[in-house]
Amino acid sequence: MSFVNESTVDRIIRVAVGVLLLALGWGGVVTGTLGTIFKFLGFVPLLTGLIGWCPAYALFKFRTNS
């Protein structure tokens, strides 16, 4: 895939962080405003990790894969 700009390690970390944020937010571990932020912010690293393409990396012409 030519549009992938994240390495495998980068993708694994993003998915893990995304799942952690979603679990903290939706699981009720973190409540209030921060919990709401975690609920929605967790989708960003999860989706970019699953897809393998980061818009910020593309904007700044940065790649972590070879």
How far is the C-alpha of 43 from the C-alpha of 60, rounded, in Å?
A: 22
20 token code pair? 């952690």
- pTM of the entire structure? 0.89
Q: Is the pLDDT of residue 66 over 90?
A: no
Q: Is the pLDDT of residue 1 over 60?
A: no
Conformational region of residue 37, where left means phi above 0, alpha means psi within -120 to 50, and beta covers everything else: alpha
Q: Contact at 8 Å (CB) between 25 and 35?
A: yes
pLDDT digits (tens, 9 = 90+) for 9-53: 999 999 999 999 999 999 999 999 999 999 999 999 999 999 999
User: Which residues are CB-neighbours of 44 under 8 A, at least 6 positions away?
Assistant: 18
